[in-house]
Chain A
Amino acid sequence: GAVVSQHPSWVICKSGTSVKIECRSLDFQATTMFWYRQFPKQSLMLMATSNEGSKATYEQGVEKDKFLINHASLTLSTLTVTSAHPEDSSFYICSAKGGAEQFFGPGTRLTVL
């Protein structure tokens, strides 16, 4: 299957700092990328959908000013968690759509102290 990479795989930061997570589709072009959040033993929660070159569409309850998404090219999307707080600690997973199929990155574990 197609490969989606994410960087970093884990990050620890202090409360109040911002963290950027990168998501890349390595062997295909993705016009649409998605960002999910997953809590332990829970399913994936869609945060936002981004299309290359346009503003992201956020799901209800997700603060767009806190979770900044940039879809700069057909192979790169970034999620910036601004002024992170301990409650933002979670597993963040990006996904890229290649045709009808959707592929996921390995995830980024964020811990905010």
Chain B
Amino acid sequence: QKEVEQDPGPLSVPEGAIVSLNCTYSNSAFQYFMWYRQYSRKGPELLMYTYSSGNKEDGRFTAQVDKSSKYISLFIRDSQPSDSATYLCAMRGNSGYSTLTFGKGTMLLVSP
């Protein structure tokens, strides 16, 4: 079993839809959870960062972490064509030396 599982998609939705992106993980030591957006041929851009369980909201984006289920989600409200990109979940442990473990990324396509 991979440490982080993420459906590669593509996920196609119409403009204005609510998008739900998810990752599951197996390592209970993970404490920091991040979502990155990556456009083609660009570096990943940090969207959301959450420590431990709970929800975090930033504009149209909401990140949720359920450590009991080892399940994290990113919701995008009122999706726009400019949201079309690959979304990577990433997580790491508490140690300052721990490195990020990434999901494979989900490609999202928002059609006008």
- Which 8 pairs, one residue from A and one from B, show the smallest C-beta to C-beta distance? A104-B43, A107-B43, A104-B44, A106-B43, A43-B104, A43-B102, A93-B43, A105-B43
Q: Of the 9-residue stretches A14-22, A62-70, A74-82, A95-103, which lies at the interface with chain B?
A: A95-103
- Known contacts A49-B99, A100-B51, A102-B100; is A43 also within 8 Å of B88 by CB? yes
> Shortest distance in angstroms between B64's beta carbon and chain A's nearest beta carbon?
18
Query: Interface residues, chain B, CB within 8 Å of chain A?
Result: 32, 34, 36, 41-46, 49, 51, 88, 90, 96, 99-100, 102-105
Interface assignment of A60: CB less than 8 Å from any CB of chain B: no
Query: Chain B's nearest CB lies how many Å from the CB of A12?
Result: 15
A1 interfacial contact with B, CB 8 Å = yes
Total residues of chain A contacting the partner, CB 8 A: 21
Give Cα A101–Cα B35 distance, bound, in whole angstroms. 11
List the interface of chain A (C-beta within 8 A of B).
1, 4, 6, 32, 34, 42-44, 46, 49, 91, 93, 100-107, 109
Q: Classify the secondary structure of A's interface with B.
A: strand
Task: Tell me whether A44 and B102 are in contact (CB under 8 A).
Answer: yes
Do A107 and B49 contact each other (CB < 8 Å), given the known contacts A43-B103, A43-B104, A49-B99? no
Which among A1, A43, A100 has the greatest number of chain B C-beta atoms within 10 A?
Answer: A43
Q: Which residues of A contact B36 (CB under 8 A)?
A: 104
Q: Are A91 and B99 in contact (CB under 8 A)?
A: no
User: Are A104 and B102 neighbours in the complex by a CB distance under 8 Å?
Assistant: no
Q: Is the CB–CB distance between A106 and B46 below 8 Å?
A: no
